[in-house]
Amino acid sequence: MYQRSRSQGVAGSDLPPQAPPPPPPQHSEVARVREDTPEQAMHMEGVYIISVAARLLDMHPQTLRKYERLGLIRPGRTIGMLRLYSRDDIRRVRLIQHLAGNLGLNLAGVEFALGMVEDLLALRQRLSATNEGTHLQQAVEQEFAALFRGMDLPLED
Q: Does 111 map to a domain?
A: yes
pTM: 0.63
Burial of 92 from C-beta contacts in 10 A (0-12 / 13-18 / 19+): buried
Per-residue pLDDT at 88 exceeds 60: yes
Query: Would you say residue 24 lies in a domain?
Result: no
CA distances to 5, 35, 93, 131 from 125, rounded to whole Å, are 72, 37, 22, 10
Instruction: Kindly state whether residue 77 falls inside one of the protein's structural domains.
Output: yes
Domain total of the chain? 1
Q: What is the pLDDT of residues 13-37, one digit of tens each?
A: 555 566 555 554 444 333 333 344 4
pLDDT in tens, 123-136: 988 888 888 888 88
- In this predicted structure, what is the pLDDT of residue 2? 52
SS3 57: helix
Name 52's Cβ contacts closer than 8 Å, sequence gap at least 6. Answer: 85
User: Is 58 inside any structural domain?
Assistant: yes
Q: Per the domain annotation, does 67 fall within a domain?
A: yes
CATH code, domain with 122: 1.10.1660.10
Provide the 3-class DSSP secondary structure of residue 35: coil
pLDDT in tens, 48-63: 999 999 999 999 999 9
Contacts of 81 (CB under 8 A, 6+ apart): none
Determine, yes or no, domain membership for 144: yes
* Residue 56, domain extent: 44-150
Answer whether residue 2 is part of any domain: no
